[in-house]
Structure formats: C-alpha cells, structure tokens
Chain A
C-alpha cells in the first residue's frame, strides 16, 4: 500500500509489469518498493524447498526477491528487486518455479524437507556413479536453481574505465558525506561511490533531523557543495565489488539499466579505481532472527520496513508487529505509528529492558514460536501462548557493520561484544581501508557525527594535509543496544537461518552432529552464506546457532570471511569491449591491401592476419592454388610477405659476444655484410627458436626470430642483456613493425630484383653470394636491406624497406615480375617449400625437441658458453638411440600422409612400447608429385631406405612409409648458391 501523502506520489507515474500483470509506481521507486506499494507479497520461490517468499530487505543484502528482468537476449536472471531502479516499461518476473509463482508445482520439495537437508546431495547421489552426470545432476539443477539464462549473446555494450584518486569514499550516508566534505577541503582528489541512485545512504530511510531540519535538506547542501568542487567526483548507481592489493578497487557502474531504450551507450562500466586511501562508509546490514516459519512473505527486516515507509511511503498491510532483540526495532515501531499505521505489538526478546515507548503494546522477554499464512503472514504465536493477527512482521536481529570489502585481502573480522558485531580492526593500518560510521560499529547518529570527525581529522593530521575545520552538526539523539537472542529453540526444521540457500537451524544442528563444526566446514556442508547474497543477513545467525550448540560464544566460533564480488557482476562487464573481433587487435602485414584485392584467403597466425594462398580464376580447391604457387616459384619466381618474422635490431660494441651467448653456434667471426643461421636453446637444453642474424656494420646486427616467438625471444634477450651479461655494451630494439620484408624466391629472383635495385651490378652472384646482406637503395632512392637467404631452397632473397613503402614495394615487385610470371605466394606454399627443402619450423621446434633431435648437434659450439649449452649434454638428449629428424615418403606414392602419425617398425603392433617416433609436418609436394613428410624416428640417420609404418589411430589408418633424407629438393644446395 502507498501512503498517499508521501512526497513520492508527486513524482512521475511509471507503469511496469511483474509476472505479466501491469502495475504502477513512481519515479524514485525500486521494483521492490513498487511491488510493496501494490501489495504483491510473493515475488519468488525459495532455492531448495520452493517455499513462497517475499521481499525481505531494501538493499543488496536481499536473499529472496531475485527476479528476471527484461526479455529476449536482454533477459537477466537473479537481479535483486531491492536494487532495481523502477522505470517506465520495466518487465520483471519471478523465477525458480514450475507452473506459477503462486502455485509452484515444485513446492512438493517443501514436504520432503526432512529428507533433503544439509549434505543431502553428498549422501544420496553417490551411487551409481555414472548416474550423477546423466540423471541426478540435471534433475537437481532444474529443481534447485536460480533464474535461467536466455542462452543468447548479450547485445548490450559494456566498457572498462580507470580512475585515480587520493581518497575513495564508499557510501554516501552521513559518515561518507562528512568524510568527503572534510577530505575535499584538503585539496585532495576525492571519489565518492554510491550504490544507490540517490545519495544520502541510510539517512534517506530515517526520520532523523539534522540541524533541526529534515536530513534531506542537509544531504542536498552537502551534495551541492561537493559537486561544486573540481577535486570531487561522485558516481552513483555504482557498487564497489572488490578490493585488491595496494589501493586498487573494482566497481561496477550501472549506466543505462534504469532506462528502457537500448542504446549504443555502454550499459555498465567496470571501473578499476586506484586510490591512496579508502574510506569505508558502507554502513551496516540488519540481520534476521531464526524462529519457526520465519520466511513467510510479509516477514521483513525491521529497518527495511522503515526504509519502505519513510523513503517510498510503501508498506504491507495495516496491522504490523515488530520482533526485535535490540533498540532499533522500536524505531521502526515509532516511524510506522507516525505514518498512522497500527502497531499490533513490539515483541522484544529482552526481558530486563524498559519499553522505550509506552504508547505501543509490547511483549518483553518473549519469542515468536509460530507463524501462520503460507502465502503471506496472517498471525503469529508468542511463547506466552498469545496469538496476534498481523499482516506484516518486521524483524530485527541487530545490525552488522558492512565490512565485506575489508575481508577481500584476508582481513579477519573481530567480534565486538558491546554492539554484538564483527568489526574490521587491522585493515586501517595495513590496507589503508578506514571504516567510518556504522561500518566502524558506531550506530547512534550523534556518535557517528563526532566519531567521523575524529577519525577523518586524525587521518588528515597523520598524512600531513592541511587541516579543515570539524563539521558541526546537530541531530536527534539515538540509543542502540543489542542482545544476542538470534535463534529460538523450538522447531528447528522450520527456523530459517539462510533464506537464500534454505538453510535451517536443523541443518546447523546436523552439521554439528556430523562433525562439521568449524565455521569453514559449516559453510561448505550446509551452504550457509553462499550464493548471490553471501549470507549478508544470515551469517551471524548461523554462527550464533553453532556457538549455542558448542556451548561457547560467537567470538570463539569465529567467522568465515567474504570474498569478491560484493554483488554479482555480469561476465560481460569483465569482458568490456574485448569481445568478438575486438578481443584483441589484428595485425595486418604491409602487403595486406594488395593481397586483399587479389582475393587472397587469410589465416590468423597469432595476432597477424596472413595471406594463406592467392586463388586465381578457375581454381576451386585450395591445393590447386598452392601447387601452382609452389611450381611457379620453383620454375620462375614467387613473392611472399615475411614481415611477421620478428626483427630485432642489435647495436653496441659487444654484440658478437652477446650473440655467441644467446645462439648455440659461434657468431664471433661473422663478417660485415654476411648473414648466419642461428639456433637458440632454452637453458634446459631444449631447442627454442631459430632464425638468421645479419651483420650490417661493425656494431650493427639484425636478428630475425620466428613469428610465434617474436615477443618471447625479445623478452629473453632482454633478460640476458640485463640479468646475465649486464656489463656488455648491447642495445636492443624490436623493429618487426618498422620494416616490411618480402621473400623473393626462384631461379628468376635475381633478375627480378635487378630491375628494382638502383645498382643491379651490386647483386650479381659474385658481388652478392649466398648468405650475403647489405644496405642499398631501390626504385630510385628508397633505402632497403637485402639478404640472400633461402627458406625454400631456391635462389632467394629477402628484401626489407621501411613499412610505409611496404605496400608499394609488393606492387612494384609484382609489376616488375610480370615478364617472369611472378606469383605472390602465401603461408601454405611457404610451408610446402620448406618441407620439400627439409627446414625445421614450429612443428619440429616445438618445445620438446633438442638440437640433437633436429640433426643440428654440430651447431652447439663447445668453445664458448651459451644458453642451454651445458644442459644439452644431458644423457637423455644424447646417445645413439635418440630420435632424429628424417624425411618420409609413402611407399605407395599415391597415398596420403597424416601429420601426427606414430612411426612403428614394420611388423610390430602399434603400442606405446613400439612407438619409435612421429610425423611432424606433411605436405603434398607438387615438385615431386606425391606426399612427403618430416618427422622424428629413433636412429633416423642410420635407417635411410628402411620401410616403417605411419599409424594414425584416430583415423584408423596405417601407411607404409620409407625413411629418406629430410632434404627432398636440392639436397646439395646448388640452387640457393647459384
């Protein structure tokens, strides 16, 4: 029902639907307050027993009112009605029911309650084991579950942001706003983060006066002042959900959740906040009391009943009773009475108190032993035997400081016996998280005002900032004391401790009986305090119950700690913009535009997008293109973009010593204008990477690495330079993106290049032999580097120009090559030709193989120390039995080979014991007209000509292959030297 004189009724009227029915609310409502105003009592079904449940709280501690919002791909399950800002057109619905929420077929579980208590899954569904995945789990998941996902991709946009400040203030209640005002005065950067859509925190829920006026007037003034300062930033609708090391916090800002229209603007922003200090003004959360049937719709936290009445003018029913173990419950009675509602009674568990209000009928020292009304509370029965008819029961078990975030770095809360509350005591020093106000365990407003002044001013003094004046505020006086009467003794199977997980007092007793007595065991056995609310309203009840069973007190029992996130956060918010094509950047090689125009087929290699082959008209199958590219390169000339190979520019007086150390083979005598192939090992002796290094000058070298290892090799070179050989004069810079580099391969490659270089004579075979390199100019003055190296085995060059000329050079090479019918070729032809030539690549240097395996053991120079040199001598890496790289071809030439096939001696069965090696790379060789492969087989070098079996058990295929030299094409290297 709505109090028609409440100011909210002057606001804009909003219509919304819940479970398909249309209702009205006002701007400023939450979905929960609007449902209460419309007297909707059942909003959901409980997790396990499917009992009807209603709204319980007024904030993110809500255990019951989980609803699905929106529809289609926008549907979001498990949102808390208490946190949802009402907007015109909102569509909400209940979840976790079969049939309708008012008549849930799954409520049968409630009758079975005695059989499905804590630990029920562990005990019942143990056997037979194979039934678990197929039968038990799907049924249980369907029955006990929360909302359902739409299973469609979330079309909303999300973003990430970074904020830096000196003081992060979490919460904008009175202590948060006071802290902000004081700290802003010091000139520091202040960031205020408020979960609610309005500022003021708990003050909005109270009738308390500040400076003799309504607190909203002071809030307005404070916010206006703060907004006028340019060193203050305020984020509302934003929840800090995690605290990390060194002053880093994560917060989720809801940007458009309260707007119906979907826009291209981000729905939520995941903020990473860097701060020097955090002022935790997160207030306190009220806890419940466990008593029989304490979960009926209409039973709510007393402070929340007060919130709905004071802030929203909304309430259930006309006959309200309050059940409390502390002074705060009486405040709810006062406020509701002031609204003109009938207070049936205040039942206070404490006997020895003086009733704070004589005009309200009270029952002191009594408990509630029974409640009535399955779909909405109708009556309560007291321990004295009297029965009262009520339509709303407000329960207060006292307040717990909201110190969730102080636990994220394993801060251990300490029990405060005065206010019956866990406090964070060590975090202020250690983590610079400073609780103020109710979060610090101060519950009376006059004390909050003086204590916040004291805490913040002493912090400012300690840091040494300019001292502001203390804030003088007057307020009404409050009194708060609390007992620990949290659990009743009768009917434990109906006394709910944790509403979200349907954990009853009986479950706690069961845990105790079965030996799960420590709080960590209790939590995991009973699921107390798990799920979306993390037991914000229930943990203390469970601990009190366990303490009672153990005959001790809560401070002895201790507490589990909270973990991030404070509230559930959508996975999409963690992804931000990093999804689909934006997951990571795409690197385009310089010839991309030319390749794209020529309809190249592309392949992703790491972040690079490389041309895989260039189909020509009439070619319908990829091999047609690849075979043509290979043959045309071998017969005339082909051009391939090899920019993606890592390029590292190395300069300094000591480069040779450095190269000698990072490569296994000797570099000390590499002359200027010469290139050398180099092999790198890991320190454990396994082959790591290979490439060429060219010496362009006395102290200037260009190293190339494989595409895949470009960043890693660079990192390791820096490690050697800084951590192992720091006295050498060596400087490194990655120039992979600075130079476009093309392979020009084939018998006509020299003739083609001679058309491009400015001095053709410079590159004759005599002046520029195999493994030569030099800087020169091309196309009338463009600086370039030319390397005479060959991956294909042909007469071949690699030519590099500054990247901005890359696209033009690719075009220029193709035009100049027209008379030779030059072809562009892609990564497939590149791969085929290197297999034909017998060059190892990533499939061979795969992190498992050694120089010995690769047949490169003679490259390990024993004259000087180098990375991996020592451990390459290990016994297991050496000896006559090791697998060495060999070539393989099918005995029946028409047969296809499969990479990954295991090699077995002829006549043996394909078992692990008989496994002698594997095929690492295979290709159809258009040059030879049949399949060829590279692979590793024990004693390969001595077995040339032997026929073995290549067994592919995945395809159930065995092929007879012949062991041959890995160099299928031009084994003597005549072509590349020609």
Chain B
C-alpha cells in the first residue's frame, strides 16, 4: 500500500508501524465519572470494521509522524491521511 503522507507525499506502507483503531487518541480524563470503566473501554475495546476505518500509522522509518489514516479495510482504498497531532490539537481547541 501507499500512504499519502501529508508532509512527505506517497510513502510505502512498509515504512510504517500499524497501530489500529484511532480511538486511542481519545484517552479518557482520569478525573471524569466512571473513569476506570472508560479506561478499560479505551484499552481493550477496538473497532475492526470491514469497511471504512480510521486507524493509526506511525512513520517509524521516516519522519516519525503519527498519522490518522481513513482506510477502507475491504478495498484498501485510502480516503484521507491526517497528522494525528493536528487533529488532536484541533479537538483540544474545541
């Protein structure tokens, strides 16, 4: 597969480490209500859909960016590639 890195353009997937469901970005607040249950969900429950999925890829043999890749797991079509850092900052700004 080729991943269209937002900074570096098309890169071979072999340069990346795959980390699965991008929900790992949404780490619960440790002081929120039922935080332990939330952490268990966060740690153990991942989506693994046959279809469009947001997933984490780490450009380890490259610029070390963590990317959020929107990919169809059936066709391997990659719909969107974003820098996780920017996504998270945007979310934090809200």
A residues apposed to B, CB below 8 Å: 244-248, 274, 409, 430, 683-684, 711, 715, 718-719, 721-724, 726-727, 865, 869-871, 873-874
Q: Closest approach, in angstroms, between the C-beta of A272 and any C-beta of chain B?
A: 8
By Cβ-Cβ distance, the 7 closest A-B pairs, closest first, are: A246-B2, A722-B85, A865-B30, A245-B76, A726-B88, A870-B39, A726-B85
Q: In whole angstroms, what is the CA distance A848 to B93 when docked?
A: 38
| Residues of chain B within 8 A of A726, CB atoms compared | 84-86, 88-89, 92
Chain B 69-87 interface 0/1 with A at a Cβ cutoff of 8 Å (1 = within): 0000001101000011110
Chain B residues with Cβ under 8 A from A430's Cβ? Answer: 75
| Residue from B25, B40, B65, B86 in contact with A724 in the complex, judged by beta carbons closer than 8 Å | B25
| Chain A residues within 8 Å of B65, by CB | 722
Residues of chain B at interface, number, CB under 8 A: 34
Apart from the given pairs A723-B85, A727-B89, 4 other A-B contacts in the complex at a CB distance below 8 Å: A721-B85, A726-B85, A726-B86, A870-B36
Given A246-B1, A726-B88, A871-B43, residue A718 in contact with residue B66 (CB < 8 A): yes
Q: Would A871 and B1 count as touching, CB distance under 8 A? A: no
Q: Which residue of A lies closest to B83 (CB)?
A: A722
- Select which of B30, B85, B88 is within 8 A of A870 by beta carbon: B30
Complex Cα–Cα for A245 and B14 (A)? 12
**Cβ–Cβ contact A724 & B30, under 8 A:** no
Is A248 a contact partner of B84 (Cβ separation < 8 A)? no
Separation of A873 and B12 alpha carbons in the complex (Å)? 41
**CB nearest to A865 among chain B residues:** B30
Given contacts A246-B2, A723-B25, contact A871 B58 (CB under 8 A): no
Which of B27, B36, B42 has most A Cβ within 10 Å? Answer: B27
Contact B1 A245 (CB under 8 A): yes
**Complex Cα distance A683/B45, Å?**
13
Q: Which residues of B contact A723 (CB under 8 A)?
A: 24-25, 56, 66, 84-85, 88
Interchain CA distance A612-B39 in the complex, whole Å: 42
A871 proximity list for chain B (CB < 8 A): 36, 39-40, 43
Q: How distant is A277 from chain B, measured CB to nearest CB, in Å?
A: 14
Which residue in A246, A719, A873 is a CB contact (below 8 Å) of B76? A246
A248→B76 CA distance, assembly (Å):
13
Which residue of chain A has the shortest Cβ distance to B93 in the bound complex? A727
**Residues in chain A near residue B64, CB distance under 8 A:** 718
Alpha-carbon separation in the docked complex, A871 to B36 (Å): 7
**CB-contact partner of B27 in A274, A684, A724, A727, under 8 A:** A724
In the assembled complex, which residues on chain A have CB atoms less than 8 Å from the CB atom of B17?
Answer: 715
A-B contact pairs, 18 of them (CB 8 A): A245-B2, A245-B76, A246-B2, A247-B2, A248-B12, A274-B2, A683-B39, A715-B60, A718-B58, A719-B66, A722-B66, A722-B83, A722-B84, A723-B25, A723-B84, A724-B25, A870-B35, A871-B43
A553 to B82, CA, bound (A): 49
Complex formed: what's the CA distance from A941 to B66 in Å? Answer: 43
Complex Cα spacing A711 to B60, Å: 9
In angstroms, Cα B56 to Cα A79, docked, is: 43
A869 to B86, CA, bound (A): 26
A711 to B19, CA, bound (A): 15
Chain B contacts for A721, CB-based, 8 A:
85
Residue among A244, A715, A718, A727 making CB contact with B1, cutoff 8 Å: A244
What is the minimal beta-carbon distance from B6 to any residue of chain A, in angstroms?
Answer: 13
Could you tell me the distance in whole angstroms from the C-beta of A541 to the nearest C-beta in chain B?
Answer: 32
